Structure 1
Amino acid sequence: MADKVIIQVTSNQQYPEGQNDRMEFTTEGTSHHRAGAFYIIYRDTEITGMDGVTTSLKIESNRVTLNRMGAIDHKQVFERGVRHGSSYVTPQGSLFFEIETKAMEIHLTELEGKITLEYDLFSGDQLVSHNRLRINIKEDAPQ
């Protein structure tokens, strides 16, 4: 059974030229635990630039898999010290990226917790950005 949760996402990107971007949003979603993994699912909005996209996170002890479905299709694996590649498919076309996860912290229970990922994003051999993604999850209190 899925539990309702509030999800707060904070994303920081630092580009080699020195520019920094930050995005923060809060949304409702669901959380459930199955076969040794936690699953967090939410719908993206205009704020993220991905209206009409459903994002799911599969959280295991040493790996986080992000899967976006809808107007954008993208599956990305975060695993410390490992460089994973993936296609980012939009109606305008497809891009191929690789990420190398530098740090990962996972503190999660069925209804609350925190995930922090630090990673570098590459296009080919070119560094695109240094990134920090923080996801806080808490139980959605009944109204």
Structure 2
Amino acid sequence: MLKKVVFVTCILLLVGSLTVYWLKGTSTAKLIEPIRIDEQSNNFILHVRMENHENGLQVLRSLEYIGTETITLSHRTPLIGLSINHDNPKFTGSPVTKIMDPGDIYHPDDLQVFAFREPGSYTLFVHCQLEVNGEPINIRINRDFIFK
């Protein structure tokens, strides 16, 4: 009889431990609140918005032109490179040119989703690289955030 009680207790402890381990492993950490970043450089404002997504974290980005004259900018794709915890943007696409008038907002890249669910502290690295009249413009942002 004592062996049965010990056996059942061990089975219950094992099932309970596995349940706790599974629940902890599938926990869905989230940003506490959406994060908005607006960084001005020269005649441009780089807009970045980080928010929760069902698969982790989604980042939206755009470039606003605030100059006074019409310009032609050129860039490789993506215009705005994003990475988490490693500053390694990859601008490997074909060259793109875009005519921009004052007040135009350029959304060349789709939203980017980073699929992770582990709680912790992270750094978002943003790098916008373009040329206007042959002059290179680089806008860099590093933003720390916490996923709970």
Please indicate, yes or no, whether the TM-score normalized by the shorter chain is above 0.5: no
TM-score range, shorter chain: 0.3 to 0.5
Higher-helix-fraction structure: 2
**TM-score, normalising length: structure 1:** 0.35
TM-score (normalizing by structure 2): 0.34
**Structure possessing the higher radius of gyration over alpha carbons:** 2
* Higher strand fraction (1 or 2): 1
